Amino acid sequence: MEDDAKQFIENLESRFGGPVGYRTYSTWFASDEGKIRDFGVFIYEIDGVFHFEDFERKPSMFGFSIKPRKNTPPYVKMEGSFTADAIESITTVTKANAQACAQGNRMQANIPPAGGIQKIFSPLVTRVVIKDGPTYFFELINQKEFINAVKEDSDGRIQGV
């Protein structure tokens, strides 16, 4: 498995022409463009560009593959990227608000940052607003690490960081 991961990283470095600087995993992903990935995305930075992509997840039980339901739509790979300079703001919001935004039931601009009680009792995600672009919601394993990587690439010019 470790060899597969090393091979994957080498392929990314070859594809984008530089070393992977920062990498992490988001256990859940959504965007205000209607995309939701319940099994998350891999996020990595190469030469100041943050890339993210998902992977097909085949259903299984106890390690055995299960045949998908007939009405299950075919998997379509999702990839995206943004630069630190393109980020307008980074804030923490509730996952419920992020989900509502991704489903078209709430505008991202109307989602307030998570408050004190929400931070204790609600699942939280990191909202990344791109200038004149989409808004992404990441359920990051380590939000502080992500923010530090963004700060490093943006020289601290981003609001809410």
Let me know if residue 85 belongs to a domain: yes
Q: In this structure, how many other beta carbons lie within 10 angstroms of the beta carbon of residue 154?
A: 16
Residue 133: Cβ-neighbour burial (10 angstroms; 0-12, 13-18, 19+): middle
Rounded Cα–Cα distance for residues 108 and 102 (Å): 9
Number of domains the chain contains: 1
Let me know if residue 161 belongs to a domain: no
What letter would DSSP give residue 84?
Answer: G
Residue-wise pLDDT tens digits, 38-84: 888 999 999 989 999 998 877 677 777 777 777 777 878 899 999 99
Percent over 70 (pLDDT), the chain: 94
Let me know if residue 159 belongs to a domain: no
Question: What mean pLDDT is reported for the chain?
Answer: 88
Closest Cα to residue 146, out of 92, 73, 67, 72? 92
Rounded Cα–Cα distance for residues 78 and 84 (Å): 20
- pTM for the model stands at 0.87
Q: In this structure, how many other beta carbons lie within 10 angstroms of the beta carbon of residue 117?
A: 8
CATH code of the domain covering residue 65? 2.30.29.30
Closest Cα to residue 77, out of 130, 37, 128, 127? 37
Residues linked to residue 36 through DSSP beta bridges, in sequence order? 30
Token reading at 67: 């045949």
Domain that holds residue 103: 2-154
| pLDDT given for residue 155 in this prediction | 66
For residue 146, the Cα-to-chain-centroid distance in whole angstroms is: 10
